[in-house]
Amino acid sequence: MNNILEVKNLQVSYHTYAGEVKAVRGVDFSVSEGETLAIVGESGCGKTVSAKAVMGLIQTPGVIKEGSEINYGGKNLVAQPESEWEKYRGGECAMIFQDALAALNPTLSVGKQIAENLIIHRNCNKREAMEKAVELLEKVGIPEADKRVKQYPHEFSGGMRQRVMIAIALACNPKIIIADEPTTALDVTIQAQILELLKELQKELKTSIILITHDLGVVADMADQIAVMYSGKIIEKGSGRDIFYHPRHPYTWSLLNAVPRLDGDRKKNLVSIEGTPPDLLLELKGCPFVERCAHCMNICTRQAPPTFTFENEHRATCWLHHEKVQGEYPFETGGALCVEKA
Partner 1 sequence: MNPEHNEIVRDEVLKEDAFMPIETKHKEDDVLRDRGIWYNLLTSFKENKLAMFCLCFLIIIIIASILAPLSPHDPDKMDLLNKLAPMSKEHFLGTDGLGRDYFTRALYGGRVSLVVGLFSMMVAIVFGTLYGTISGYIGGTVDNLMMRAADIFMSVPSFLLIIIINSLLSPSMTTMIVIIGMFSWMGVARIVRAETMSLKERDFVLVAKNLGAGSFRIIFNHIIPNMIPSIIVAASISIARAILTESSLSFLGFGVQLPMSSWGSMLQSAQEHIMDVPSLALYPGLLILLTVLSFNVLGDVLRNALEPKLVK
Partner 2 sequence: MCGKSIIEEPVLQVNHLKKYFPMGKGQILKAVDDVSFEIGKGKTLGLVGESGCGKTTCGRTCTGLYSKTSGEVLFKGQDVHKLRGKDRKAFTKSVQTIFQDPYASLDPRMKVSELVTEGLRIHNMISNKKEEQERAQELLRLVGLQAEHANRYIHEFSGGQRQRIGIARALAIEPEFIVCDEPISALDVSIQAQIVNLLKEMQAKMDLTYLFVAHDLSMVRHISDQVAVMYLGKIVELTTSDELYSHPVHPYTQALLSAIPIPDPDVEKKRERIVLTGDVPSPISPPPGCRFCSRCKYATEQCFEEEPEMKKIGPEHYVACHLCK
Q: How far is CA 239 from the centre of its chain?
A: 15
Examine residue 214 and tell whether it contacts partner 2 (CB under 8 A): yes
What's at 230, amino acid-wise?
Y
The 298-327 site mask, x for binding partner 1 (CB under 8 A), equals: xx-xxx--x------------x--x-xxxx
Nearest to 233 by CA among 24, 44, 4, 57: 24
240 exposure class (CB count in 10 Å sphere: 0-12, 13-18, 19+)? middle
* 179 φψ region: left (φ > 0), alpha (ψ -120 to 50), beta (else): beta
User: Which of residues 59, 60, 107, 189 is near partner 2 by CB under 8 A?
Assistant: 189
Q: How far apart are CA 160 and CA 100, in angstroms?
A: 9
State in angstroms the smallest separation of the CB of 282 from partner 2: 14
CA 59 vs. chain centroid, Å, equals 19
- Could you tell which of partner 2, partner 1, none binds residue 91, using a CB distance below 5 to 8 A set by kind? none
Of 6-14, 91-99, 209-217, 285-293, the segment contacting partner 1 by CB under 8 A is 285-293
Query: Per CB under 8 A, does 187 bind partner 2?
Result: yes
Out of 196, 311, 313, 323, the only residue in the binding site for partner 2 (CB under 8 A) is 196
**Of 112, 9, 121, 16, which Cα lies nearest the Cα of 60?**
16
Question: Residue 211: in which H helix or E strand, if any?
Answer: strand 208-213
Smallest gap from Cβ 278 to partner 1, in A, equals 8
Q: Which stretch binds partner 2 (CB under 8 A): 54-62, 130-138, 238-246, 296-304?
A: 238-246
Among 293, 316, 318, 336, binds partner 1 (CB under 8 A): 293
Is residue 61 reached through a cis peptide bond, with omega within 30 degrees of 0 on the bond before it?
yes
Q: Which stretches of the chain bind partner 2, using CB under 8 A? A: 42-43, 157-160, 187-193, 195-196, 214-218, 220-221, 240-241, 244-245, 254-256, 258-263, 266, 269-274, 276-277
Q: Which stretches of the chain bind partner 1, using CB under 8 A? A: 17-19, 274-275, 279, 281-282, 290-299, 301-303, 306, 319, 322, 324-327, 341-342
